Structure 1
Amino acid sequence: MTLLGDFVSHQDFALDDFQLRACQAIEAGRGVVVCAPTGAGKTIVGEFAIHAALAGGGKCFYTTPIKALSNQKYHDLVADYGAERVGLLTGDTSINGNADIVVMTTEVLRNMIYADSPTLRELTHVVMDEIHYLADRERGAVWEEVILNLDQSVSVIGLSATVSNSEEFGRWLSTVRGDTEVIVTDLRPVPLHQHMMVAGRLYPLFEPESHQVNRDLLEACRRAELGFGDAGSKERYQYKKGRGRGEAGARPQKKFRPARRADVIRMLGSLDMLPAIVFIFSRAGCEGALAQVGATRAELTSQEEQQRIAEIIDAGVAHIPEDDLKVLGFLRWRRILIRGFAAHHAGMLPAFRHIVEELFNEGLVKVVFATETLALGINMPARTVVLEKLVKYNGEAHVDLTPGQYTQMTGRAGRRGIDVVGNAVVQWAPAMDPKAVAGLASTRTYPLISTFAPSYNMSVNLLQTLSYADSKNVMERSFAQFQADGDIVGDAAELAKAKQKAEALRNELLGRGRGSADANGAQSGGAQSESDSEKLSQMLEYLDIRNKLSAEEKNAKRRNIEDRHTETVTVLRRLRRGEVLPVPVGKKVQLAVVYREDNSPSNPRPSVISVGGYVGRIEAEIFPSAPETVGSIKLPRDANRHPKRALGLVRAEIGRKGLKGPKRLRRRSAGKSPAVKALRQQLRAHPMHGDPAVESMARHADTLRRAEAEVAALQKRVDSASDTLARTFDRMLQLLAEMDYVEWEDGQDPTITEEGQRLARIHSGSDLLAAQCLRRGIWDGLDPAELAGAVSSLVFENRKSVKGSDEVPTQPLADALGHTFRIWEELSADERRYRLPVTELPDIAFATAIHQWTAGAPLGYCLQAAAESGAELTPGDFVRWCRQVIDLLEQVKQTGYSDEIRACAAESVQAIRRGVVALSN
């Protein structure tokens, strides 16, 4: 029997065609890249690679991008092969590292290659799961380092989501690794049905057996856009002032609100579409959704399921201190989880996240509110995936989902061997076009773009293991350079066309300006060409100022709206029971008393009783400017439970006290922006101000500006591609030679100094800065807590720009941080001089929190300390950053210049690794 035949005979199911083809390629000794949708069964190919390695007496490494996926794969393989044959290496976890099968994060394999680990001698196969991670902005380069530096005798098996440039990726792999077969399939073992939810009803996205958008759905969206929902709908739609009654005399309702989550879940349950993952693109949104369903009486679990859930939860938190559990709101979280609801996001405590994963995989949790990070890596499929929005915040702006993101998330729908079909549900919102949704659903691919670039650590490691020429060759053989070389030809052609277009527009504008001048009595002719050109430059300068003014006015208006909203949110958060304030109700203003407070940080919605009889929540959006309280009254104790009964007392008390509010709530006028004022003065003082030629040529000038911007963008791309990675590598070595990490004399190959050997063991985004801090001794003499605080400044990145206190607990820590910033300033100046990417600015916002934790403070105290320093962290964030600090401290322990600092780093690691941090693996 063949190797593949033996493998297939032990499977519980017949292999699909793409799986067989991939396994046949591995059996033939070729490399393979398998591109297939989530849930299609790519991992069976990786499992055959393991089978082939063991059958040939070799070893197989199974690499993953994240520790959670490594842990999950390790347990799967232990179940198949036994604990003695399987190992796990994730940086902070080391189990049976010399086993025949070792699961590891890709960084661990990269480090093993540079260290020339003896374990690599018997390695025959490497499976790179989620290989499309090489497009990751922060960590993608590691994948390419591994692919480029693995011994040529090792077969690489890449498992990837479907990417549109898989053939290009395969050509590159064949170039650098030898014969590599690319196998692409769009086959989903569980078919996916696409839906949209409009006005509380579910519509198929497409016509039956067709790629045409469902006509009933288009009509439902049209009616919803006009403000007409289906009978019995829980949704309400915006009614624009001045609009008539619309269709059939019906009056559109006032304000659109998405369907209540409890109603959505109830509907999914009635259609047998649970369990479901509801994707919400913010951590706070996930927690808010969980609280929202937690406030209802809904239960999705049976008594037996609830008992089993409780057992799993209690076992999962058994080693977390009780005080920490209180800080984490454990009891409330446990109650909601037992009812079948959960949240899942990176801000959660890892122990809580693992409990949710276990419960969901056992079918005990029926609804999970998750961020898009759930779509990557870990195995948590559902019967249905719900997308509440098709827009997400990318850290800089709100952007539309890409087809790749949509495919990755909806790929979770449909459990192989359990479900006949999977379901993707998009919730409609005003201005959402079903045809655009259909485009997302139909486009199942996205491009794989390399993020590879040399780093200081990579440079010295390459020189330690390869010659200078071979090290440069690594740069030139990278996928990044492969793509740049392919793109530069097309970009250069586009640049030539763009320059011609811009020049033609400039000449056309000169002609129009000359004609305009003639019409106003000016002289014309060839002698005026220089004058025409000068006038055109002046006019473009004037229009630039005008455009800047327009943009700044919009920004000032936006800032004013944001400031008003922030002020209103602050007022609503601080409202206390019994306080009276004016509230807009329809077109009127009524006094209302607060009977239930809400101090939610981002969207407080206190409950009020108005003198006009309104009882319910109020929110920031209804106020044109921040409201002011006009007094307070005493409410009966049972007002929270029976607010309508208190209406008469509220009216009487407000009348008795003579409390009055304004007849109208007026929008606060925007403050005068200094930038707007300066630009207006600049505009009025310009020599072109008032010239009639400006208005007649403005539109054409804007066209020219856009064309010039396109030229600049293309020129930048061409210059960037021309400045090869090999040249960047050389400039990096020149800086390292100047700083004595490398010795490099004319005509000779560079060699690594003792300092360079230390740098080679520092794997950090701020590797050279860390090496300089150690070399200059600025962290010497610190105690373990102070060292943790100083090191944290090189790894911590604040998710939100929040101003906090710059004070730290001790003077030695303050001095060390000050010196760290000074060294960064020197280094960044050198990097700019050598035209190199500038090392990230140190961030001290986590220093106090990690100092206090290392010194033994409880979790709640440390989270508060982080907040006061400007770092608003969830418990999960706190643990994650503690792990990052530990990683760098472990490297300090290996590379420090004195016994004292190495011992201090070891003590610091031991002190941090306690409580919730110790349980985060």
Structure 2
Amino acid sequence: MSSSETSSDVELSKFVSGLKFDLDPFQINACRALEEGHGVLVCAPTGAGKTVVGEFAVHLALAAGRKCFYTTPIKALSNQKYAELSERYGPSEVGLLTGDTSINSDAPVVVMTTEVLRNMLYANSEALRGLSHVVMDEVHYLADRFRGAVWEEVILHLSEDVRLVSLSATVSNAEEFGGWMETVRGDTTVVVDETRPIPLWQHIMVGRRIFDLFDSRSNPSAGPSKFVVNQDLVRHVKQRQALDRVESWQPRGRGRSRYQSANDFRPLPRPDVIAQLDKEGLLPAITFIFSRAGCDAALTQCVRSRLDLTTPEQVREIDTIIDKHIGGLPKEDLEVLGYWEWRKALQRGLAAHHAGMLPAFRQTVEELFVKGLVRAVFATETLALGINMPARTVVLERLVKYNGETHAELTPGEYTQLTGRAGRRGIDIEGHAVVLWQPGVEPTDVAGLASTRTFPLRSSFRPSYNMSINLVDRMGVKESRTLLERSFAQFQADRSVVGVVRSIERNETALKALQDKLGGPDGEYYEYASLRDRLSDRERKLERESREDRRDQAVASLRTLRRGDVIAIPIGRHSGTAVVLVPDNDPKDPRPLVLAEDQWAGKLSAADFPEAAETLGVMRLPKFVDHHTGRSRRDLASALRSTGFTAPRRKKRHKGGASEDAEVASLRRAIRSHPCHSWPDRDHLGRIGEKYNRLARETQALRQKAAATTNSLARTFDRIVSLLKERGYMSAESVPQVTEAGQRLSRIYSESDLLVAECLRTGAWQGLTPPELAAVVSSVVYESRRDGDTTSRVPTQAIRHALTDTQRLWSELRADEIRHKLPPTREPDLGFVTAVYHWASDNSLVEALLAAGVQGRALSAGDFVRWCRQVIDLLDQVRLTATDPVVAKVAAKAVGAIRRGVVALDAA
């Protein structure tokens, strides 16, 4: 500590005396604020040492004889932090709670996932007594659209006397976030530090040459200072592009001229890239590849080469660590898990790291990498989300990744998150980010990514059924609405309204000026312009009604389709004939599953039919059709074509509508007979009138947007309350109370919480064996990674009946949600049903993985374990909330049946 320490720095001085390093200024400022009784929000780059502030909160709690909870977003981080704190304070002082793991839960310091703390708060757990501090690590997770709401729930529900320590990656709106924290938590000190503790140098690798991205006189990683792109790099890239253009037009092959295209560019092989980095002293390195298959392929490529990065002594140490992590793995499962190839790669200092790997494999890789025994890792971006696995160098093969819908360029925030892993504090004096050059990569674009410092944090908070029922149970409807209005999501929404209101004010000024040009509201032309606008509105309305009528006809026709009906798909990529495989009589949005003559199988909707669907005839189908296999689709498409049914040519649609409407005719007559219709400057005034009407519509839309944004979360909550009243989860009186069914819903934490509650309430999951219940429960947990992978062979008749009931309840719920204008619950997915049934029936891992496969490819071991863990989690909730004691017992047995082998190894 410096001589500037204050009298309130007593505990900070004690804390610092036990450290092996000096604190940075931002750490000192945050710790001082914490000791003075403030909450703190710390925003700093990856590796800057934010967690020291969290550890000081632990110190303060222990010094005062109180409790501290240390929360993280994922289990791996909780395990990591538990190990660190246990080493520092001793295992008797530290506990761990991660949903499936409970160690020393009564300890004064407990590390837990954020969901566990949220559930404690809703249950008003005794464990909250004596709590003085809560650390929320990686608090920027509240932007996560799947799990972000949990962070805001915790922030809003924690008792005001608990000091909150929020640790976040660098965000550009830290003051906004801090302002909200001040509003909901009281005195909060915001500490922002943008300086990386280890300088980061940016490079582009062109062929075998590694160039600095910036001129050596500028380094934007130190802050938003000006930078200059390295001109040697720019010239070399231009020469390379010119050479590639010349080579692309060189004839090749024998006997005839064949020409290369730009797509024939071949990057430097991965083993050569790693070897070059090793030569330059830039290992260990993490190479980010945005697909699991790409990571595995890169590792295979390196293992097949001569690349070897370890010594015999290191190999012996690697073997010891592998055996420690994998010793409990059943021997019969090793082959299907690719264990021997994985081990061989590790022995040569090489590894992959992604969510598709067995968790025990990933943990082994992480430990070996941290110890410097693995020198090159090929990873997906999930590694960048908080795992303590820094490297000397980060390599980016591409600056484009698939975001779940399309291939999109990396954002500056993503680039910074990924390259933030470069530079190991206490080991490296600098870190390095290397982008591999390929056609289309411009140094100036990379420079823009590397130098941008705008990463705003956006809330993803939305009320759910479970959240709403818990809120009402704890504080009633009125207070619940007030709490939702205090969320960060609403805080940001209300701030956005300020800009909308300003736009409305500007538009109103412009409208007044345009109105004056038209002679004012009492002028003749203003009346004429109003007639023209009414005519346009009426014509648009008739066209809209015509489209809605055609859609209603299409919906009605799709509902009547039966299995084997041959229909005509009139538009789109798959236009032609198709046969119905699975009908759907949903009253609002029927989506029958069909196979088209071009071998495509998928669901159709009313959007695929401009008018009613036309049935051409009926085709006999086999009892079971597996539309997932290419052979089955080919055979069925061939049979379809041989029926001789052909899609008719589309008829030209009769316009009708406006030309036959009496109001349209009346307005047209009024316009023609109006005095202004013959004015010489009518066209000029008409353009002004159109501009006025257009601006008036825009202004009205802005007013509606402002109204919709204000209190938007509270309105969604009101709709949820209305639906829950209808379904008996709350009483129907003006001040509703949570019913017994609602109490059970309050303990179901699932994306499909209300659907699960309905299945238990109606007995849809009764009469099942443990493997059958596990299979049915998986349908509301599992989510296929590929479109068209939502069905599966159903192993037993009992499962089939239960799934039919589950699907029916979902359809009824979705209809209610549409009526109440609520986001619909996700449709049950049968893609994991057979896999978990086999596994819970004590069959082999090979059989389970193949049963969960898609188009002949087995599910990855990591995904299999992850989905099994989620099924176990929901089965545990079923065990605790089922009204039928038999269902509860079956759920408990199902948990035991799944928790074995590789799944039990993960839970250990």
TM-score range, shorter chain: 0.7 to 0.9
In structure 1, what residue type is equivalent to 2:732?
W
SS in 1 for 2:853: helix
Q: Separation in 2 of the partners of 1:877 and 1:154? A: 38
From 236, 241, 262, the equivalent of 1:225 is: 241
3-state SS, counterpart of residue 446 of structure 2? helix
Q: Could you tell me how far apart the structure 1 residues matched to 2:493 and 2:358 are?
A: 41
Could you tell me how far apart the structure 2 residues matched to 1:738 and 1:482 are? 30
The amino acid across from 1:744 in the alignment is: A
Per-residue displacement from partner, 1:233-289 (whole Å, max 9, x unpaired)?
A: xxx975599xxxxxxxxx999931111111111110011000000000011110111
- Going from structure 1 to structure 2, the CA distance change for 1:24 and 1:353 (only over 3 Å counts) comes to same
Counterpart amino acid of 1:820? T
Deviation, 1:35, is 0.3
Once the two structures are TM-superposed, the CA of residue 806 in structure 1 deviates from its matched residue by 3.6
SS at 1:348's partner residue?
coil
Query: Are the counterparts in 1 of residues 570 and 647 from structure 2 also a CA contact under 8 Å?
Result: no
Deviates more, 1:885-894 or 1:257-266: 257-266
Q: After superposition, what is the alpha-carbon deviation per residue over 1:803-854, rounded to whole angstroms, capped at 9, x for unaligned?
A: 4754310000000000000000111111111111111111111111111110
Aligned residues: 759
Residue 727 of structure 1 pairs with residue 736 of structure 2: no
Structure 1 residues 532, 256: CA separation in 2 closer, same or farther (over 3 Å shift)?
A: farther
Amino acid at match of 2:228: Q
**Residues 381 and 414 of structure 1 are in contact (CA less than 8 Å); yes or no, is this contact kept in structure 2?**
yes
Instruction: Please list, as runs of the form range in 1=range in 2, the aligned pairs for 1:127-526 lying within 5 A after superposition.
Output: 127-210=135-218, 211-228=227-244, 238-239=248-249, 255-494=264-503
**d(CA) in 1 for partners of 2:356, 2:700:** 40
Report the more deviating stretch, 798-807 or 474-483. Answer: 798-807
Cα deviation digits, residues 597-628 of structure 1 (max 9, x gap): xxxx9xxxxxxxxxxxxxxxxxxxxxxxxxxx
Once the two structures are overlaid, the 10-residue window that deviates more, 431-440 or 295-304, is 431-440
How far 1:224 moved relative to its partner? 2.6
Q: Describe the SS at the equivalent of 2:374.
A: coil
> Pick from 848, 853, 870: which aligns with 2:834?
848
- Output the CA distance in 2 between the equivalents of 1:503 and 1:329: 73
Is the CA contact 1:769–1:824 (under 8 Å) kept in the aligned structure 2?
yes
- Give the deviation of 1:428 after TM superposition: 1.6
Of 869, 888, 903, the residue aligned with 1:917 is 903
Partner SS for 1:327: coil
Shift in Å, 1:431: 1.8
Residue 319 of structure 1 and its aligned partner are, at CA, apart by 1.1
User: Which residue does the alignment assign to 2:724?
Assistant: 736
| Counterpart position of 1:661 | none
Question: Unaligned 5+ residue runs, structure 2?
Answer: 1-8, 219-226, 252-259, 518-527, 548-568, 577-597, 600-627, 629-645, 660-690
Counterparts of 2:250 and 2:509 in 1: how far apart (Å)?
Answer: 47
What is the CA distance between 1:442 and its match in structure 2? 0.9
Whether the 8 Å contact between 2:726 and 2:732 is mirrored in structure 1 is no
Cα pair 2:321 2:364 within 8 Å, conserved: yes
1:19 aligns with 2:27: yes
The answer to whether the 8 A contact 1:39-1:412 is kept is yes
Deviations 1:774-810 (A, max 9, x none): 0000101100001001111111111111447543100
Report the counterpart of residue 695 of structure 1 in structure 2: none
Kept in 1, the 8 Å contact 2:73–2:141? The answer is yes
Mapped partners of 2:693, 2:792: distance in 1: 44
Measure, in 2, the Cα distance between the counterparts of 1:252 and 1:852.
49
Structure 2 CA distance for partners of 1:527 and 1:260, relative to 1, 3 Å: closer
Tell me how far apart the structure 2 counterparts of residues 724 and 686 of structure 1 sit (CA, whole Å).
37
Q: Distance in 1 between matches of 2:339 and 2:187?
A: 53
Q: 1:741, CA displacement in angstroms? A: 0.9
Task: Return the match for 2:818 from 832, 843, 847.
Answer: 832
Say if 2:850 and 2:857, in contact at 8 Å, map to a contact too.
no
- Contact kept, 8 Å, 1:845 with 1:870, in 2: the verdict is no
- Deviation of 1:72 (Å): 0.3
The secondary structure found in structure 2 opposite 1:258 is coil
Backbone CA RMSD of aligned residues: 3.9
| Contact 1:50–1:125 under 8 Å retained in 2 | yes
Contact 1:275 1:365 in 2 (8 A): yes
Q: Deviations over 1:202-246 (max 9, x none)?
A: 1111112221111111122222333349xxxxxx975599xxxxx
- Specify the code of the residue in structure 2 equivalent to 1:433: E
Equivalence for 2:802: 816
Which secondary structure state, in structure 2, belongs to the residue aligned with residue 337 of structure 1? helix
Deviations for 1:131-169, whole angstroms, at most 9, x for unmatched residues?
000111010000011000000000000000001111000
Give the whole-Å Cα distance in 1 for the aligned partners of 2:508 and 2:304: 61
Equivalent pair of 1:804/1:870 in contact (CA under 8 Å)? no
In structure 1, stretches of 5+ residues that fail to align are: 230-235, 242-250, 509-525, 546-551, 560-566, 569-600, 602-672, 689-702
Q: Would the aligned equivalents of 2:149 and 2:460 in 1 still touch at CA under 8 Å?
A: yes
- Offset, 1:128: 0.2
Q: Give the match for residue 72 of structure 2.
A: 64
* Residues 162, 445 of structure 1: 8 Å contact kept: no
| 1:13-38 CA-partner distances (Å, limit 9, x unpaired) | 11000000000000000000000000
1 CA distance for matches of 2:570 and 2:902? Answer: 49
Aligned counterparts of 2:887 and 2:232: Cα–Cα separation in 1: 70
User: Which residue does 1:642 correspond to in 2?
Assistant: none
**CA 1:532/1:81 → structure 2, altered by over 3 Å: closer, same or farther?**
closer
Distance 2:232 2:575 in 1: 38
CA distance, structure 1, for counterparts of residue 701 and residue 653 of structure 2: 28
Q: Give yes or no for contact 2:850–2:859 (8 Å, CA) kept in 1.
A: no
Is 1:794 the equivalent of 2:780? yes
Match of 1:595 in 2: none
2:285–2:391 Cα contact (<8 Å) kept: yes
Which whole-Å deviations, capped at 9, do the CAs of 1:6-58 have from their partners, x for residues lacking one? 11111111100000000000000000000000000101110111111111111
Pick closer, same or farther for the CA change 1:753–1:684 going to 2, 3 Å.
Answer: closer
SS in 1 for 2:197: coil
| Compared CA separation, residues 825 and 252, structure 1 to 2 (3 A) | closer
CA separation of 1:472 and 1:298: change in aligned 2, threshold 3 A: same
Distance 1:719 1:39 in 2: 43
- Equivalent pair of 1:31/1:156 in contact (CA under 8 Å): yes
Which residue number in structure 1 is paired with residue 863 of structure 2? 877
Deviation at 1:83, TM superposition (A): 0.4
Which of 42, 57, 67 does residue 49 from structure 1 map onto?
A: 57
SS of residue matched to 2:872: helix
1:889 aligns with 2:889: no
Q: Is the 8 A contact 2:98 2:113 kept in 1?
A: yes
Provide Cα deviations, 1:547-597, integer angstroms capped at 9, x if missing partner. Answer: xxxxx99985999xxxxxxx99xxxxxxxxxxxxxxxxxxxxxxxxxxxxx
Tell me the CA shift for residue 459 of structure 1. 1.2
Does the residue aligned with 1:305 lie in a helix, a strand or coil? helix
Change (3 A) 1:896 1:283: same
Is the 2:791–2:829 Cα contact (8 Å) retained in structure 1? no
Partner of 2:119: 111
Residues 805 and 870, structure 1, Cα contact 8 Å, conserved in 2? no
Deviations 1:689-739 (A, max 9, x none): xxxxxxxxxxxxxx9999999999967854541352112112211111111
Q: Work out whether residues 804 and 867 of structure 1, in 8 Å CA contact, stay in contact via their aligned partners in 2.
A: no
Query: What is the CA-CA distance between 1:492 and the residue it aligns to?
Result: 4.0
Q: Deviations over 1:294-319 (max 9, x none)?
A: 11111011111111112211222111
| Aligned counterpart, 1:858 | 844
| SS of aligned partner of 1:142 | helix
